[in-house]
Amino acid sequence: MERSMLRVKQKRVALNSNHAVAYAVRDVDVDVIAAYPITPQTTIMEKLSEMVANGEIDAELIHVESEHSALSAVVGASAAGARVFTATSSQGLELMHEVLHIASGMRLPIVMAVPTRALSAPISIWNDYSDLMNTRDTSWITLIASTAQEVYDSIIQAYMVAEDPRVLLPVMVAYDGFLMSHTYEPLNIPEDPTAIRELVPRRDRITLDIDKPVTMGTITDPRWYYEIKYQQVKAMQNASLVLKETSKTLHEVLGRKYEPVEGYKMDDAEVAILTYGGLFGTVQEAVDIIRDKGLDIGAIRLRQWRPFPSEELTHLMHDIDTIIVIDRAISYGASIQGPVALEVYPIAARMGVHVFSVIAGIGQRTVLEKDIMGIVNKVLDYLDQGVIPLRSIYWGVRGGE
Amino acid sequence: MSSSLPSWSELPPGGIIVEPGNSVERHTGDWRTFKPIINNDKCIRCMLCWVYCPDGVIRIIDQEYVDSRGRKWDIILDIDYDHCKGCGICVEECPVDAIDFVEEVK
Amino acid sequence: MGETPYNDGVLEIRWHGRGGQGAVTAAIAIAKAAVEVGKYATASPEFGAERRGAPVRAYNRVSSRPIRARTPILEPDVVVVLDSSLPPDMYLDGIKAGGLLLINTKRSIDEVRKMLGDPDIRIAVVDATGIALKTLGTPIVNTAMLGAFAKLVDVADLDVFENVISDLVPKRFISSNIESMRIAYNSVVVENE
């Protein structure tokens, strides 16, 4: 797509991340929306319902009886060629789980917003990333945003990537439930959505068509299944490239640049803190404070969870000797229990970088700048003793570890 | 083992089947042990076999036929043995016992 | 419009009210007004299972530069109390020395100062309940508190808040809420610095 893009005119507004999703969905002109209410996702659908009711969006809004049905409904609509959207959190995402695999296996360009939330039991309506991390192997492209601005932009990018013929995979855009979903902050959105619609032209793909019938999601015996699954492996690889291309286009059109992993004060850093979502802002604040105290520390934000940006992360980690990965989810019984830390480990091992996995913010336990500083001090203590624990550090758990 | 089959890059994405109606290429008639044979002389053309057949293999052929009672018909009924699995439902449902069910000699 | 206690470049505001009084909407209005005049701002409710009458908090950060922290506000520059029946330990918790307490009450500043044990803060009082009952006929006090806030704290001019509130409340309640804001703006009483 070699054409020069004009920077579009934008207006500055204050929205929460859920409403930023709704505006992005409006601006890409979706055809079918289906979702079931669950905290903290609900206000996305409230806003979209309002937009459909007052004619801002020309879409079918399907009321369904569960999240399993919500995703199934958009699977059907997408198979028939519609541009679709759904959203959920927590148990809703769990109830969708089997359909997540069907959506990606049928290669449907579905886009879903996931304001993340802890999992039951016990019930917690508050934030962590347990729900999202459970979708790791579903073959969905997964972006984790850190600001409402990035949430808006990522939904647009999600459609650009999902519908690319080299990809044809569904995309999840995740962000902190409550801490972002319900927090108002400034962002820029285009004054005229037609500029956005030009970014997501309607493209041909094989769909259900009575004039040209096809069969989707058929049974495949052992002679066929493996090759069809390998297509998904390649599509995920292609997604890395298409994410890069579309990031470049978005930068040209909207003026905002996103990298699969983003470094903060990494130039001279020896120690880096890697995290994702809204916590990155607090980590940046903490990095500034710790730097004032004389430690060469930097921060890395993971934006692109699937496909995992191994090359880009390798590049960012080139000059550090220790990486602290703060996860807000637990992989129970794993060697180290932070899901992202596990992913960073093989890269760090090749480079001889020490990995410390830290669990924090579970069920939205508050993480302040001083918690980040405490985590860094604890890691420095371990390094002084020459100990790299082969387990995670559970920051702030009452009663100690 | 499957070297003659298409590679991952030759298949449509997600293994979508893009040739409609290709199930005729699979000759499910191979599965049959008993073979239904329609006796057009006894048949009263009620079409219940056509209604009940789960595989749609009862064929209606435009052909004049006069049965042994002197009654004239515009059609005869026949079976697509390439796809008849020999389930026997037509035999069971026929109200005048006009379908014989005989062991197939293979 | 009054003085600006922007510490480290970020003004931190904490709202205390009860479910149904509109504390969250007030915080959203602050963020929208600040963004309207080109500032950076965040508004976040303290997230819980909302129900009428339960104590609720909301937070604002306002600054001339982007705001990165998503933490609860533990040491606010400004505390706004929509319901004076809330326990003082709750709303005074962590307030900065010299910070501002804006409280909805019929009492005088001296009475409030005495009740709170003479804290090292500035106190401002406004009878938001009285104003709301007069203008809206129901004790939803958030817009009156916003009017008083606009007078005391340098975030945006009153007319900006009026525009923001016009977008946030149902059409038939716009004029009565704006009246609330104006009366409170003109009747709030504050201690000298």
> So what's the pLDDT on residue A3?
47
Q: What average pLDDT does the structure give for chain C?
A: 93
- Residue A238 host element (H or E): helix A225-254
- State the total domains in chain A: 2
- Prediction pTM value: 0.93
Q: Is the pLDDT of residue A10 over 80?
A: yes
Specify if A3 maps to a domain: no
> Any CB–CB contact under 8 A between A215 and chain B?
yes
From A254, A283, A304, the end of a domain falls on A254
Q: Is A374 helix (H, G, I), strand (E, B) or coil?
A: helix
Q: Please name the member of A107, A168, A215 whose beta carbon is closest to the beta carbon of B17.
A: A215
Same domain membership, residue A180 and residue A46: yes
Same domain membership, residue A202 and residue A270: no
Assign C174 a pLDDT band (cuts: 50, 70, 90). very high
Same domain membership, residue A269 and residue A135: no
From A198, A219, A254, the end of a domain falls on A254
> So what's the pLDDT on residue C3?
45
Q: Is the pLDDT of residue C4 over 70?
A: no
Q: Which residue of A has its CA nearest to B23?
A: A215
Same domain membership, residue A336 and residue A238: no
Same domain membership, residue A101 and residue A230: yes
Stretch C127-152: mean pLDDT:
97
Q: Hey, of A231, A233, A234, which one would you mutate to test binding to chain B, going by the most B CBs within 10 A of its CB?
A: A231
| Length, in residues, of chain C | 193
Specify if B19 maps to a domain: no
Subunits touching B (CB < 8 Å, at least 3 pairs)? A
**Helix A225-254 and helix A97-105, axial crossing angle in degrees, nearest 10:** 90
- State the total domains in chain B: 1
CB A304 within 8 A of CB A297: no
The number of C-alpha atoms within 13 Å of C175 and in the hemisphere containing its C-beta is 1
Q: Is the pLDDT of residue A4 over 90?
A: no
Q: What is the ipTM of this complex?
A: 0.94
Q: Is the pLDDT of residue C40 over 70?
A: yes
Specify if A286 maps to a domain: yes
Specify if A350 maps to a domain: yes
> So what's the pLDDT on residue B21?
85
Min Cα separation C29/chain A (Å): 9
| Token pair for B24 | 């005729």
- Phi (first) and psi of residue B14, to 5 degrees: 70, 10
Same domain membership, residue A202 and residue A250: yes
Q: Is the pLDDT of residue C1 over 50?
A: no
Specify if B50 maps to a domain: yes
Assign C8 a pLDDT band (cuts: 50, 70, 90). low
Q: Which residue of A has its CA nearest to C72?
A: A366
The domain in which residue C63 lies consists of 10-190
| Token pair for C76 | 């606010």
Specify if B55 maps to a domain: yes
> Any CB–CB contact under 8 A between B7 and chain A?
yes
CA dist., res. B72 & res. A102, Å (int): 55
Specify if C1 maps to a domain: no
Same domain membership, residue A373 and residue A290: yes
Q: Is A268 helix (H, G, I), strand (E, B) or coil?
A: coil
pLDDT digits (tens, 9 = 90+) for A144-172: 999 999 999 999 999 999 999 999 999 99
Assign A2 a pLDDT band (cuts: 50, 70, 90). very low
Same domain membership, residue A370 and residue A244: no
> So what's the pLDDT on residue C6?
54
Q: Please name the member of A176, A184, A368 whose beta carbon is closest to the beta carbon of C71.
A: A368
Q: Which residue of B has its CA nearest to A103?
A: B14
Specify if B3 maps to a domain: no
Specify if C4 maps to a domain: no
Specify if B7 maps to a domain: no
From A254, A274, A294, the end of a domain falls on A254
The domain in which residue B84 lies consists of 28-103
> So what's the pLDDT on residue A213?
94
> So what's the pLDDT on residue A1?
41
> So what's the pLDDT on residue C5?
47
Same domain membership, residue A356 and residue A249: no
Cross-chain Cβ contact C70/A184 below 8 Å: no
Q: Which residue of B has its CA nearest to A166?
A: B13
- State the total domains in chain C: 1
Stretch A119-128: mean pLDDT:
97
Contact between chain B and chain C (3 or more Cβ pairs less than 8 Å apart): no
Q: How many CB atoms neighbour CB C157 within 10 A?
A: 14
Say which CATH number the domain at C178 has. 3.40.920.10
pLDDT digits (tens, 9 = 90+) for B39-83: 999 999 999 999 999 999 999 999 999 999 999 999 999 999 999
Same domain membership, residue A160 and residue A49: yes
